[in-house]
Amino acid sequence: MLELILGGARSGKSSYAENKAQAYSQVLYLATAQIKDEEMEYRIKLHRKRRPEEWITLEKYKDFEAEDFSEAKVVLIDCLTLMVTGIFFDEDRSHYDDEAFARLEDEIWLEIENLLNLTGNKDVFIVSNEIGLGLVPEDPISRVFRDMLGRFHQRIALRADKVSFIVAGIAMVVK
């Protein structure tokens, strides 16, 4: 079972996913955030405190091939947005043209597919930010990122058994 859980910032999507995962005996929590500043470090600490100690936590945003998912009954990926952000902004992309961004999109999608394949037949919850509902970003690279993430959401939603949209802590089932 694959469930895509979308919502805005601070909408309750992570808590929703964590509550669903607690029904399982062995949870692998894939945390994709990187500590880049004090505020993000604080957020990560809050997330760590909220997780049950018995959950297996893996903190990385790419290169999952060497990881062992065999002990888990469920995989919670929190979140796809930060995974994509990490790869997208690994290097300066300001010189990229449309063709280079298309190759980057293929590269990131391959990383997502590889991750999903590694989870095997386990239940998977993917948390991600729905960033396409806000203002149109001012700069071209941010628009490319927004569009790319939106396309990833569409591709995952097609594969997903369930898609939930979280608003103010309340889940609306989309699929």
Using the CB atoms, write b or e for 152-166: b if 16+ within 10 Å: bbeebbeebeebbbb
Residue 109, C-beta contacts closer than 8 angstroms, at least 6 positions apart: 152, 155
Is 16:166 a contact under the CB 8 Å cutoff? yes
Active site residue 47: yes
Is 162:173 a contact under the CB 8 Å cutoff? yes
Out of 34, 44, 47, 58, which one is annotated catalytic?
47
Catalytic center residues: 47
